[in-house]
Amino acid sequence: MSILGVIPMQGKDLWAVTDTSYRAISDENDLAEGEVLHIGAQPKINAADNEAVRAQLRAVADYAIVPLQYAVDLGEATEEEQTLLTKWKLYCVRLNRVDISVSEPDWPPLPD
């Protein structure tokens, strides 16, 4: 039995952690192969946290792009809509190029 098996863990935050991700677990038996146990506050893993931020920013961009792209596809887009679509697409390109391995990525600004 590991030492963790004899330490009471109630009230503790338990996390299964890898080099690139983490997830909350209820006890050490929930660990999968390749995961290690972290006890305490939510772990800081830049790549995983930053990937989540990038996914949220990409969802915002996708929400803006879809109706603009429909207007272009149907030949109904105004010049303003075409310009805005180009800005959002460029934003996505820049977003995908962000180095998420650093602690404070240089996120591109949202289009005007």
Per-residue pLDDT of 4-36, as tens digits, reads 443 434 456 899 888 767 888 998 899 999 988
Q: Is residue 64 part of a domain?
A: yes
Residue 10 is part of which domain span? 3-39
pLDDT value at residue 106:
95
Number of domains in the chain: 2
Same domain, 90 and 65: yes
Task: Report the range out of 4-13, 87-96, 97-106 with the highest average pLDDT.
Answer: 87-96
- Secondary structure (3-state) at 36: strand
Q: Is residue 103 part of a domain?
A: no
- List CB contacts of 46: < 8 A, sequence separation 6 or more: 100, 101, 102, 103
Q: Is residue 59 part of a domain?
A: yes
The pTM assigned to this predicted structure is 0.62
Structure tokens, 85:
């679509």
Tabulate helix, strand, coil % of the chain (nearest 5).
45, 10, 45
Q: Is residue 106 part of a domain?
A: no
Q: Is residue 70 part of a domain?
A: yes
Q: Is residue 61 part of a domain?
A: yes
pLDDT tens sequence across 35-66:
889 898 887 767 878 999 999 999 999 999 99
- List CB contacts of 60: < 8 A, sequence separation 6 or more: 110
Q: Is residue 11 part of a domain?
A: yes
Same domain, 55 and 19: no
Same domain, 82 and 65: yes
pLDDT value at residue 11:
52
